[in-house]
Structure 1
Amino acid sequence: MNKYITSFSLKRNRFIILGLSLFVVVSIYVLMFRVIDHRLHTLNKRILKEMSFEKSQLVQKEFDDFDRVFHLMGLAADEGQQKFMNKLIDQDSVRQFLIAYTYWRSDGLHFSKNLEWYADPKAIDPVIQSTILPEDFRKTKFIKSEKGMYLHVYVPTDKGVLQLTLDLHKLNAYFWAGNLGTRAYFEVYDANGICLIYPDEKEIGKKRIKSWKQYPVKNNLVMSDYILMEVLLDEYKFKGTFENNRLFVNVLLMLTEDDVRDIGNKTFLLGAIGIASMLFFMFLLDIENRKAKRLRLKNLEYQKEDALLRFENLKRKVDPHFLFNALGSLQQLIGKDTAQAKVFVGNMAKVYRKFLSGDESGLAPIKEELALAEEYFFMQKIRFVDTLNPLKINVTPEVMPLFIPKFSLQILIENAIKHNELSKEQPLSITIEEQEGRLVVRNTVLFKNPDMDAAGYGTKMIAHVYDFYQVQGFEIQHHDADFTVYLPFIHIDSR
């Protein structure tokens, strides 16, 4: 039952870990995607701003060119060189929309008309003919009649004021016939909010009725009345003659948004492929780990079976050897000390009974192992008498319930007696004590054969048991004066 519960628990833990891993990976991916998306939108907005500024610079450059021609015409008007003024008009792009000019010379107090010119004298619209110079001549003046819409532009000179009349329909045609950049269009309004330049000529001359959340307008996302799509709207200040007018640049979001969306979709796709690949490899890794775990369990089972087989083989070897030596010692003892012989027989029976006891775990409590060690040592003391010093044991009661490999103490005592030279002059000393979570078995050294390895078959069997239970700390130390074996405690949870 416990085996099935453990298996179910392992599977449940595996699914929990896998689910948590998936959750963490997806969360990181979503966070990463959001960061990338934010960065893309920031980049997109920056690109739009740069496009808007570029558009404003192109428009301003056009008006700067107009100002240059207007300024030269003003200088020529001061000198009365009308032919030169007309020649400038003919050779420049302003001829497409400049339909008249009037030069007002100043005497210090008043302005009087000095020069006048019309592109088509036969078709003069009376509304553009001026008899006086308006007082607010520093601002452009919008004029509308049944024949058309016009704009008076005033250029102050050293000796007077040059009044220029622009046909707004022709001015709009001039701008929209040219290419002032893609993905954007602009609007121009005078100080009173009258539309002067707009892609749709139907809007020319109309009062601006738009209201924006902030003014001046910067970084506004609005719905365009012209293309009926969302645009980024920015306002820029004119320089020169048109400085009192307002320039608005509209940058279309759609194309750059498509680019951003395309990048985002590709990023999402690559991320999804990455996650799928990672989950696939995690699945393969989990399969391999389970295979490796099953293999380790099989290997541990093989190790256990091997250790127990060695243990049983050792028992089969020890049993007749132990019985033969014990009976020989008993035969000698019967003739010398009958009472001692009786005690010897009792200990021999206890020891031999433990040899015959079956336990597949290969472990025994320290208390039982110490008792077996004392009983076994008593029998060896009877046999070897003064060549063995008394067995010294220093172990606290707290560790008695803990486990060590079965027969490990008896094996180490037997090895110490078997591999060392025994004499009354240098009796063999064996001690068993507790030290930092381990039993320490130490004996003095006087090997019968200097080349003999004291760590024989018995200690290898003990090592196999520790390997099976995956307990670290089993150690053998060989010095000139002593031979020491460290036996780690095996807690009940390790079984």
Structure 2
Amino acid sequence: MIPLFNLFIFYPYRTEPYTCHKMHIFAKSIALNYRFHFTLSRSSVYTIAVVLAAIVVMALAILSRLITAEAFRSNEEFARKAFLTKYELVEREFKAIHTYHHLLQEMVKSSASDTYEMQFSVLNRLNDAQNLVQYNWYFHGQSDREANNQKLLKAALKKNASGHEWRKDFPDDSIRNFLISGGGEINWISYDSVSLSGRETYFGSTINLDQLHEHFIKVGQNQNNYAFVFTKDGTCITHPEQKFIGKNIFDFTDIRLEDLRDLDSNANNETTALSEYLGIDVTRFIKPLKTGNFDGFVAINYANLLIDENVRQTKFYTAVIFLSTFVLILLIFVLFYNATNIAYRAKEKSELEKRQLLVDNEMMHKEQALSQLRQLKNQMNPHFLFNSLNSLYMLIGFDKNKAQEFTMNLSKIYRYLMVPPEHNLVKLKEELAFVEQYMVLQQARFSEEIDFKLNVTSDKALTKKIPYLALQTAVENAIKHNIATAEQPLEISITVDDYSVTINNTLQLKDEMPQGECFGLQYLQQAYRFFGKYHFSAAAKDGYFVCKLPLLH
């Protein structure tokens, strides 16, 4: 069974405060259970405090110097490792583009021309599903060179490109490449041609350079650096600042051509430079990048400010730890010196027991929620998969295209279910996309019995959060408890506004309620209560059942 719900790991939210509290009570209990049979003079206490303070200050000064030196060395090493990681990422993506181009070539050579349109359409849909940035295209060439160029641009850009602003060709590459600017965007077009049956067929890929850079940001979003790629003659292919794309990097950076001429493919150039993008000093690493359709360099820039900031933070935390330790030592000393009486110990013990009861009570509620989530998992997975496979079996017999689409949606649904979010919160747009795929599968089974509508009135609400599978739970609750026939279809609508998501369904209840009829609503109520939201509501109204899910920031 797929581990659908590794959900509601509540403990990270509150474990630390309770642990600190127990340590505090433990320290106090030590002070309360040990009493001195002698007393120290006030002057002795002051002397001990001064000596401790002097020791702490000296140790802090020595350790601060050691930490500063080690932190600089460690951060510089981290910058080099981050550079290698980023370079490998960029190199892998460029090699994938080249490999993909050869796959297109093999497909064109081995397929009949009347199947090109379908095959290229399937490839582009797969690219979209896998969040790949390239768009594939083909066309049959003409004898007229100018007409051929216009046809190429129209196929590559999906529109007429007679008004493009500029074009930059790369004459030295084995695969024909050029950059073209127009309509507020810059595209990298790679193409080739084959001669089949006396006719020249052109095929290739189009990559929007802004989308390519966004892709690099996503796959390397945890790295504190930025990269740009440029050709041997200095043409910038990708850069976080769009205005630099297509320009010569030797004009807007302090990189010099002579520094790159003798650079070996396995070596890299490391210098300190002023960032043209951030306006601060950076450590710049430059290394050659050569693939089948590109020959140039990758420049990766690591902000020196981050190194300095990390050192300052380390020194600050060290000082805090030392001072906290010093204060804790003094506190323990004072606690021993001023041992409290038996009544105060009894009071502390009573408070501790009360707090422990609160902790035990909260843990009980969390265990209950976990139990509900496991139950929801056990209910959904086998039954849903069984029905889906039955539907797929029927679709294969009379509509293979729909069967393929059904299989793709089923795989997306289980991919979403197999990787639950860390804190059980997802963006609304992700949950909506999942519910739409879920309803496509349901409507494949009940095409006339279910009428589903989605209305989004606020785009900014799509970035807000919602408990994981909250929408699916509400929709499944509607399908599970209501009659749905071709004569009396079940109407389900989802409406999104700035602050909530409302799920409405026609109220046409079954004569016999399924087992666990309130389980889904109880789960939603528990989830929102855990996140401190008490505005969740679900009730029948004017012939409809209305479920309102508040959005979380």
| TM-score, with structure 2 as normaliser | 0.36
Larger Rg: 1
